[in-house]
């Protein structure tokens, strides 16, 4: 008699198919086994799961489809991994199958049993080439077996007093920890020591180290490989991020799953890596919004790291010079004077007595009108080029200008498919929509009135690069060569290896002024930068999103941290590290706190404002979004969902406040209208329980005739932008 296997499969979105699907199997399959199963006309990868606590009886006469095959050579995914997937699915309102399957490498999802068997087979010995007698006589006739090299000793790097104190607390306490260290305080060395400690304590232990963006992975991998490869082998350190090829991702995943990899470095996707012996999780730059997935299952890798660490008994270190307000609040003492949920560890000083940069505010209302750079800032940049120092200019907007404009008729370069402007890219003379990707050539004249004088409005990184090249064209470096300006943003780093090449040139001193977006504002250890300038940061101050001041402060604080990291170099140059901010609102409290490098005062003020307004972390939120062909249809679906919850008197509804639906900030993308509805509660449990009861009604509503025009709907728990 065949056995029944309950399998998690990625079913079509909004199909309302059950969490687990039942299949017939000739043998008992342990939970965590990877199998291929038929679904409709396709054959998909699935993960065998524990049976439900009270499985529903099968209808009489129903014949189950059989498991197609079991993927050979792989140990089942362990119970800890399955608990992580189940928690993420429950918390972020997705199906277990979607989370489980998308967490696996793309190449593994498409492999047959035969292909995987070939992939796992040991490599065949190389064939001996035919050599001439003369070549053979010149070669050694007998070879001694290669003896493994003795592990090299870990480089002895003296810790500062702050580092030593923090590391001792990590050793003695279970955590989780919030490592609050200023930029350049040596947080990475603390991570290295913490990883070293867990690997030495257990010969099978594994560590997961996460960074927010792909471009930060290579330099971190270089440091970890240099430290640990001599001890544990070249395969001990692997990376895992979406910039890798599918075969590379599969190789890294297998190394972690089998235990060959002792250290996994990666972006947010690495939180779902199969690491059966996980003992430590490090989340660097934990405040970064990149840890929140914005497509599909909208999970927070940082929050899942804390949950996974607690579940696995692994230590968790969250590190940042500007912690998220949620983490800062969680590490604050309780009202009764007890410790917070996180143990806060402080490292306020920089390594080597390096001073934090002086912050200088430039009031742009007192500068020449339409000036891209104020004259004092240009003088400061010029002086640094002449001394051989480097400068970083930050503008978080790529392209030449956000929009083209006709002064005669008011025409703007709007995207025909989105409620957004097409950005002017001067380099290739195109207009591009950064939302849907639609691209077209720049018109020779206004398409509306024929005026040939259409003008760019606003500034982008291309414009800053062009302006600096013009201003610095006659400025010479100490070696007599002309000043060199470079730009790093999403447009200049598309080619494979382009980012690494540009960063290497920056580290080598070949670039004098680097213009970039937030890609270069965090995590990079540029030793020769003594000046950082933020050109146009004010727009974030007047956003409708209550998190905008926090994001701006973190970005500017992180950018300032790129300056003056090498105290010896700054002293030898007779210079001083500076952060210049061009603003039309120099009296803003955000800039006042930034001038003093006073994150604690900024956080206290922001948390008080949020507590007064009843916003996170003092409340808990979720967003329900609907996409449709018309805005009316999207909002009608959300209104109907609210009414259905009230008519059904769903549990916990009384503890959840549902706001009316509104259009999203970018209302239309790729000809799809988008609307959203905010839910808020003072209890996280009440919000989640209500959402769990509401899910079936959302599925049911979409199947009704008047709502079948809905393209998709989704639930975003703990949203980062509203």
pLDDT one-digit tens code per residue, 211-223: 998 888 888 888 9
For residues 228 and 240, the answer to whether their CB atoms sit within 8 Å is no
Q: Does residue 155 lie within any of the structural domains?
A: no
Q: Does residue 149 lie within any of the structural domains?
A: no
Task: Write out the H or E segment, with its range, that includes residue 120.
Answer: helix 113-120
Q: Does residue 521 lie within any of the structural domains?
A: yes
- Asked if 339 and 370 sit in the same domain, the reply is no
- Asked if 314 and 419 sit in the same domain, the reply is no
Place of tokens 């609040």: 329
- Asked if 416 and 434 sit in the same domain, the reply is yes
- Asked if 256 and 188 sit in the same domain, the reply is yes
For residues 630 and 710, the answer to whether their CB atoms sit within 8 Å is no
Q: Does residue 151 lie within any of the structural domains?
A: no
- Asked if 440 and 519 sit in the same domain, the reply is no
* Residue 670: C-alpha distances to residues 627, 628, 667 (Å): 11, 11, 10
What pLDDT is attached to residue 610? Answer: 94
Kindly state the greatest CA–CA separation across the chain.
92
Q: Is 143 annotated as a binding residue?
A: no
Rounding to the nearest 10 degrees, give the CA dihedral for residues 525, 529, 531, 534. Answer: -40
Q: What is the domain-level CATH number for residue 342?
A: 3.40.50.300
CB atoms within 10 A of CB 70: 17
* Residue 192: C-alpha distances to residues 156, 189, 225, 491 (Å): 12, 5, 11, 33
- Asked if 602 and 639 sit in the same domain, the reply is no
Q: Does residue 131 lie within any of the structural domains?
A: no
Enumerate residue ranges in the chain where pLDDT < 50.
Answer: 131-151
What pLDDT is attached to residue 499? Answer: 83
- Asked if 358 and 382 sit in the same domain, the reply is yes
- Asked if 375 and 506 sit in the same domain, the reply is yes
Residues in the chain: 722
Q: Is 69 annotated as a binding residue?
A: no
Q: Which of 427, 458, 489 is the last residue of a domain?
A: 458
Task: Write out the H or E segment, with its range, that includes residue 265.
Answer: strand 263-266
- Asked if 47 and 26 sit in the same domain, the reply is yes
Task: Write out the H or E segment, with its range, that includes residue 663.
Answer: strand 662-669
pLDDT one-digit tens code per residue, 662-701: 999 999 999 999 999 999 999 999 999 999 999 989 988 8
Q: Which of 119, 140, 170 is the last residue of a domain?
A: 119
What pLDDT is attached to residue 124? Answer: 65
Q: Does residue 125 lie within any of the structural domains?
A: no
Q: Which of 458, 488, 509 is the last residue of a domain?
A: 458
Q: Does residue 130 lie within any of the structural domains?
A: no
Domain enclosing residue 48, as ranges: 3-119
d(CA 601, CA 589): 10
- Asked if 596 and 504 sit in the same domain, the reply is yes
**What average pLDDT does the chain have?**
89
Q: What is the domain-level CATH number for residue 26?
A: 3.40.1440.60
d(CA 225, CA 231): 10
Q: Does residue 651 lie within any of the structural domains?
A: yes
Tokens, residue 295: 């497509």
Domain count, the chain: 5
Rounding to the nearest 10 degrees, give the CA dihedral for residues 90, 94, 96, 98. Answer: -160
What pLDDT is attached to residue 156? Answer: 62
- Asked if 452 and 577 sit in the same domain, the reply is no
What pLDDT is attached to residue 125? Answer: 63
What pLDDT is attached to residue 501? Answer: 87
Q: Is 554 annotated as a binding residue?
A: no
- Asked if 628 and 512 sit in the same domain, the reply is no
């Amino acid at each position: 008699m065949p056995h029944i296997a309950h399998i998690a499969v990625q079913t079509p979105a909004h199909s309302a198919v059950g969490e687990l699907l039942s299949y017939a199997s000739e043998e008992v399959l342990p939970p965590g086994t990877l199998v291929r199963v038929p679904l409709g006309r396709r054959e998909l990868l699935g993960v065998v799961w524990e049976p439900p606590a009270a499985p529903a009886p099968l209808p009489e006469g129903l014949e189950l489809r059989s498991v197609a095959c079991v993927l050979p050579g792989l140990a089942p995914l362990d119970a800890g991994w399955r608990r992580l997937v189940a928690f993420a699915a429950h918390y972020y309102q997705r199906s277990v199958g979607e989370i489980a399957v998308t967490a696996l490498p793309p190449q593994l999802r498409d492999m047959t049993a035969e292909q995987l068997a070939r992939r796992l087979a040991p490599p065949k010995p190389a064939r001996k080439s035919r050599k001439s007698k003369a070549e053979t006589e010149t070669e050694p006739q007998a070879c001694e077996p290669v003896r493994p090299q003795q592990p090299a000793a870990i480089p002895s790097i003296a810790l500062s007093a702050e580092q030593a104190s923090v590391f001792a607390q990590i050793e003695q306490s279970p955590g989780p920890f919030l490592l609050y260290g200023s930029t350049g305080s040596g947080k990475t060395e603390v991570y290295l020591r913490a990883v070293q400690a867990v690997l030495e304590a257990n010969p099978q232990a594994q560590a997961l180290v996460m960074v927010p963006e792909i471009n930060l992975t290579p330099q971190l991998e270089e440091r970890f490989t240099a430290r640990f490869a001599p001890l544990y082998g070249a395969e001990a350190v692997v990376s895992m991020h979406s910039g890798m090829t599918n075969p590379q991702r599969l190789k890294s995943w297998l190394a972690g799953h089998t235990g060959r990899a002792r250290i996994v470095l990666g972006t947010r996707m690495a939180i779902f890596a199969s690491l059966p012996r996980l003992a430590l999780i490090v989340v660097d730059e934990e405040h970064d919004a990149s840890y929140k997935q914005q497509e599909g299952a909208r999970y927070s890798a940082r929050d899942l790291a804390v949950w996974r660490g607690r579940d696995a008994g692994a230590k968790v270190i969250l590190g940042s010079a500007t912690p998220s307000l949620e983490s800062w609040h969680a590490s604050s003492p309780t009202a009764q004077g007890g410790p917070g949920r996180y143990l806060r560890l402080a490292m306020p000083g920089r390594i080597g007595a390096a001073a934090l940069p002086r912050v200088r505010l430039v009031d742009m209302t007192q500068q020449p009108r339409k000036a891209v750079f104020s004259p004092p800032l240009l003088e400061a940049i010029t002086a640094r080029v002449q001394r051989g120092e480097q400068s970083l200019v930050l503008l978080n907007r790529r392209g030449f200008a956000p929009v083209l404009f006709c002064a005669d008729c008011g025409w703007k370069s709007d995207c025909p498919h989105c409620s957004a402007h097409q950005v002017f890219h001067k380099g290739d003379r195109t207009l591009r929509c950064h939302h849907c990707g639609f691209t077209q050539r720049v018109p020779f004249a206004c398409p509306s009135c024929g005026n040939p004088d259409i003008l760019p409005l606003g500034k982008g990184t291309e414009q800053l690069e062009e302006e600096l090249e013009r201003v610095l064209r006659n400025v010479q470096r100490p070696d007599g060569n002309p000043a060199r300006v470079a730009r790093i943003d999403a447009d200049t780093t598309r080619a494979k290896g382009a980012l690494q090449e540009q960063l290497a040139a920056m580290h080598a001193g070949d670039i004098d002024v680097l213009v970039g977006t937030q890609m270069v504002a965090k995590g990079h250890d540029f030793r020769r930068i003594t000046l950082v300038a933020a050109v146009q940061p004010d727009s974030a101050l007047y956003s409708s999103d209550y998190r905008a001041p926090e994001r701006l402060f973190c970005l500017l604080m992180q950018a300032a941290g790129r300056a003056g990291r090498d105290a010896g170099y700054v002293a030898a140059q007779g210079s001083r590290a500076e952060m210049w901010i061009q603003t039309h609102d120099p009296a803003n409290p955000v800039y006042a706190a930034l001038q003093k490098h006073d994150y604690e005062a900024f956080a206290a003020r922001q948390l008080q404002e949020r507590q007064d307004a009843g916003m996170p972390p003092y409340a808990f939120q979720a967003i329900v979004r609907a996409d449709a062909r018309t805005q009316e249809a999207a909002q009608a679906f959300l209104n109907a969902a609210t009414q259905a919850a009230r008519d059904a008197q769903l549990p916990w509804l009384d503890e959840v406040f549902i706001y009316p639906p509104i259009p999203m900030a970018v209302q239309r993308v790729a000809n799809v209208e988008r609307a959203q509805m905010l839910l808020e509660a003072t209890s996280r449990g009440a919000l989640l329980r209500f959402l769990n009861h509401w899910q079936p009604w959302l599925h049911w509503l979409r199947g009704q005739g008047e709502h079948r025009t809905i393209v998709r709907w989704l639930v975003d728990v703990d949203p980062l932008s509203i």
